[in-house]
């Protein structure tokens, strides 16, 4: 099977990333952490398979994920945690909105990251 026919497989669990709002790759793009020029070359994973980022999502539609070790948000500066929770949660909500919209990929990011110069 051609790679394009396989869909996007999570590089952590190996299962398909079937929906946009499950995508760690697109979440990072939407919140300004990923250059759009590398979207096609960056490995995909489920958001839940990246607990260091997933732990910051506060949305009833997303199961709480805990991250253990050095990157556990309980061990980080409370101000950083608050701002990261706000940003990552907004990004997750944006992914859910994008699933219903027909927009060009350049319009996926949150407003403050659209047109970001890398």
Q: What is the pLDDT of residue 115?
A: 80
Give residue-wise pLDDT tens across range 15-64: 999 999 999 999 999 999 999 999 999 999 999 999 999 999 999 999 99
Q: How confident is the model at residue 9 (pLDDT cuts 50, 70, 90)?
A: very high
Nearest to 65 by CA among 113, 101, 27: 27
Provide CB contacts within 8 A for 20, sequence distance 6+. 26, 95, 98, 99
Q: What is the pLDDT of residue 6?
A: 55
To the question of pTM greater than 0.85 for the whole model, the response is yes
């Amino acid at each position: 099977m051609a790679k394009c026919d396989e869909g996007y497989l999570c590089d952590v669990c190996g299962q398909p990333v079937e929906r946009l709002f499950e995508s760690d790759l697109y979440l990072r793009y939407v919140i300004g952490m990923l250059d759009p020029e590398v979207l096609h070359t960056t490995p995909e994973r489920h958001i839940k398979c990246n607990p260091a980022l997933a732990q910051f999502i506060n949305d009833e539609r997303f199961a709480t994920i805990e991250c253990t070790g050095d990157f556990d948000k309980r061990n980080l500066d409370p101000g950083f945690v608050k701002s990261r929770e706000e940003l990552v949660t907004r990004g997750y909500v944006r992914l859910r909105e994008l699933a219903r919209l027909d927009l060009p990929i350049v319009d996926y990011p949150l407003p403050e990251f659209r047109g970001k110069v890398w």
